[in-house]
Amino acid sequence: MSQIQHGLTKSEYLRFREPYLPTPCKVIFVFESPPNTGKYFYKREKIDGEQLFYAMMKQILGIKPGTKDEGLRAFADGGYLLLDATYTPVNGLPEGRVRDKIIEDDFPLLIEELNKYAGPNTKVIVVKKNVCNLLVQKLKHLKQFQVLNADKIVPYPGCGQQTKFGNMVRPMLGLEPLY
């Protein structure tokens, strides 16, 4: 398998995630890709500035865990799983065709992962504007998955969008808004 940024392969990203697989999987969040910064959601080592991790802990679980391992275990215990539309970090690429093509090319791999983890009652939430625009209709068309934001673009929970993300997603999950 070819190496991607930070020397990590897809299988290495999956190994980081493996200890935190929920049983059963109630909700799958589909994000864009692991970041090119190395701040991977499932990487147990805490790295300062992990917006996604802290946003998911606060906005979905309503907690501030003492360790990253503690937070990831709570996430899994809640039945939550985070998948990436591609395991090639694309956040360093300009928005547009190149980034979108990588995501679209890896769509069959995403479907394999969704089929592996999604049960008949598992809900799917696609996050980030470009990912929603590229994948939501394709997922709906397959009629295999319960896409909760079929008519909404859920923003990435960073860069000041954390509260908006939480206020959109929590009601989809039957949770009260935090604010």
pLDDT tens-place string over residues 79-90: 999 999 999 999
Residue 4: its pLDDT value, please?
Answer: 44
pLDDT tens-place string over residues 48-72: 778 999 999 999 999 999 999 999 9
Bridge partners (DSSP) of residue 28 are: 81, 124
Is pLDDT at 36 greater than 80 in this prediction? yes
Cα–Cα dist 116/145, whole Å:
12
- DSSP H helical ranges for the chain: 10-17, 51-56, 68-77, 97-105, 107-117, 129-142, 162-172
- Rg for the chain (alpha carbons), in Å? 15
Percentage with pLDDT > 90 across the chain: 80
On the 0-12 / 13-18 / 19+ scale of CB atoms within 10 A, 61 is middle
pLDDT tens-place string over residues 112-135: 999 999 999 999 999 999 999 999
Range with lowest mean pLDDT among 5-9, 101-105, 131-135: 5-9
Peptide bond into 24 cis (omega under 30): yes
Task: Give the global pTM.
Answer: 0.94
Is pLDDT at 6 greater than 60 in this prediction? no
Domains of the chain: 5-172 (3.40.470.10)
Residue 124: its pLDDT value, please?
Answer: 98
